[in-house]
Amino acid sequence: MGIGDRGLAGQAEAGAVHAGEGGWVSSKLDAAVAWARRWSLFQYPFVTACCGMEYMSLVSAHYDVDRFGAALPRFSPRQADVLFVVGTISHKIAPVLKNVYEQMCEPKWVVAFGVCTCTGGFYDNYATVQGIDTIVPVDLYIPGCPPTPEMVLDGIMKLQAKIDRQKQELV
């Protein structure tokens, strides 16, 4: 139903370890809840560095991430579903990122926006965390330094496909 079937090749692999045990979408309720959740992604933009400039272009009128229901940035982790980690994460801000992630309510997803968050980028030095998956479980990696808004939109579509494949956490 919906985006689930047209999703990526290699759909059958187990869904995200992250949210819910089984990956295979079974019941109609799951599909309905998944549909609702993937089209209303409220994001917490944890912006730190240069990717923030591309994030501005992404949420503005030209590339407009609102077409995917993901435009309204919520600056409190309580009201956010997706944690957009945008820009380099240094060791000094790593505990802040950990706290913000912990304070988000389930179901929650994490998007690593930019290569600095995926692997530390070309800042392979004493000050930079080499990839935020050493701190928080990440659902989507968007490479690019900075990724062009089109790459991020493609990433959001992949995230939506992933949400659709997941077994929805209920109760």
Where does this chain bind another protein (CB under 8 A)?
A: 33, 45-50, 52-54, 56-57, 60-62, 73, 75-78, 86-88, 90-100, 102-107, 122-129, 134-135, 145-146, 148, 169-171
d(CA 160, CA 25): 14
Per the CB < 8 A criterion, the answer to whether 43 and 81 are in contact is yes
Count the Cβ atoms, other than its own, within 10 Å of residue 19. Answer: 20
Q: With respect to another protein, which residue has the nearer C-beta, 8 or 105?
A: 105
Q: How far is the CB of 112 from another protein (least distance, A)?
A: 16
Complex with another protein: residue 5 or 75, whichever CB lies closer: 75
Identity of the residue, 77 or 143, whose beta carbon is nearer to another protein in the bound complex: 77
> How near is the Cβ of 169 to another protein at its closest, in Å?
4
- CA angle in degrees (0–180, nearest 5) for 113-118-123: 105
Whole-angstrom distance, CA of residue 57 vs CA of residue 75 = 18
In angstroms, give the least distance from the CB of 70 to another protein. 17
Nearest to 73 by CA among 60, 63, 62: 60
